[in-house]
A and B are shown apart, each in its own frame.
Chain A
């Protein structure tokens, strides 16, 4: 019976977004919004996102930069009186919007998140030097030099304390079984795309 009242977007979220089946459980108390460290920077705090999903506002939700403000602090999860895994739903919505190409363009956290994943997927372990440089140079070479110069003292301090290695560019850390690792990730992605009809 309740199926009849569910709009298409809510159904879509329940089927395709990580932990999306929880969205209907939100009781709009707003504790998540008040608990979020970046709360003031969310155009729509989580409880608003949940209501927007239930109101069928697909475009507004998926193109919002709100979910990209999540720092993964898990404060909302532990405080939610209805025990919604809010952090994961926000991650899931962000990932889904990104996969559909609807997430805001040049959103810095989206760019960093993609860079992070591609970095680890390549060698199996994160190359911190390449990741930092990639982030500095994401808006072009000139801006990259400017960013790197601005952060020079931080970088040099790290090198001096032996916590950043310039040689990481040439001899990076990584897993030994790269072919198995790559095949595993490829297969996992295939299965996920099949299950969520994303391919």
Chain B
């Protein structure tokens, strides 16, 4: 019996060979090391993300999350739902709030769900993996399992938007959340203080408004460098992708020479807990995190 069991919602970008498949691999390794069992929600669907609003509207968008929650209640009873993607978590938790708050919304969503033979009751909470680490384990507890401390590596903890606002981690401030820095420190690394910790990377608009978004990305990376960071770490797959993959574009546009690795907290924990580079999915980095590879189990 594992220490903790959750109903797991991996999300589209975490699927095999999708843009954050390295997040999923490292999450699975991290959970094994922490004795967390993840039971995937069978046949889960896309949450609609935030950008789904334009075509999807309100009820169809919320119904997407209601279907996932209904599938979870039916197949993984008695557990909390845990998501790793910031947008998946936000959409699911937002939908749950609306469904539980409004009897009409709930009735309407259930009328739609009936077409798929499902029903939403509202029995389970929707949590982010970072909440599980901070609230169910805590930094002192997490510290105990460290075998290969990330000594001497300076990280810029990039929290970004959607794991931070509008819900965030309980007890944290929206302007300067500290949990990611504490997590870095618990793993033996050093968290730098910099001023773009909660700046938006442009989100989905990195696609539709590349110029405006790349200005955001430039500001984030520049500040991380200016404050001595040699690596960025984030809890959000879109933050990770945008800040990592567009560095070449930013360099072309601004004449900068950015080349900073952008990693997930799950990769840090996996490496610090004695996992290999492969288990931490460090082969999924486009900008190699060589300092982590050096520390990872050979």
Contacts and interface: CB of A to CB of B under 8 A. Distances in A.
Interface string B1-33: 000000000001101111111100000000000
A107 B283 CA distance: 37
Contacts of A48: none
A154 interface: yes
B128 to A, nearest CB: 14
B45 to A, nearest CB: 4
Interface stretch (A7-15, A23-31, A52-60, A169-177): A169-177
Interface in A47-76: 69, 71-75
Nearest to B199: A37
A116 B63 contact: no
A112 B52 CA distance: 9
A81 interface: no
A125 B46 contact: yes
A112 B63 contact: no
A192 B57 contact: yes
A35 to B, nearest CB: 10
Interface in A108-155: 108-114, 116-118, 120-121, 124-126, 128, 132, 135, 153-154
B205 A71 contact: yes
A74 B161 CA distance: 7
A78 B166 contact: yes
Interface string B52-96: 111111111001100100000000000000000000000000000
Contact of A175 (B17, B45, B53, B199): B45
B19 A163 contact: yes
Contact of A95 (B54, B63, B212): B54
A195 B43 contact: no
B212 A38 contact: yes
Contacts of B204: 71-72, 109, 112-113, 116
Given A109-B208, A153-B248, A75 B165 contact: yes
Most chain A CB atoms below 10 A, which of B46, B200, B203 = B46
Contacts of B245: 154, 157-158
Most chain A CB atoms below 10 A, which of B161, B165, B205, B213 = B205
B205 A116 contact: no
Interface residues of B, number: 65
A118 B56 CA distance: 9
Contact of B46 (A73, A94, A95, A124): A124
Interface string A149-188: 0000110011011111101100001011100110111111
Interface of B: 12-13, 15-22, 43-46, 48-60, 63-64, 67, 108-109, 111-118, 161-162, 165-166, 174, 199-200, 202-205, 207-209, 212-213, 216, 245-246, 248-249, 283-286
Interface residues of A, number: 66
6 contacts: A74-B162, A92-B53, A98-B54, A112-B208, A154-B246, A188-B60
Contact of A91 (B13, B53, B203): B53
B65 to A, nearest CB: 11
Nearest to A91: B53
A109 B213 CA distance: 12
B286 A71 contact: no
A102 interface: no
Nearest to B249: A154
Given A120-B52, A164-B19, A191-B112, A157 B286 contact: yes
Q: Which 9 A-B pairs have the closest CB atoms?
A: A180-B116, A72-B50, A117-B55, A113-B54, A165-B17, A74-B165, A73-B200, A183-B115, A91-B53
A91 B58 CA distance: 9
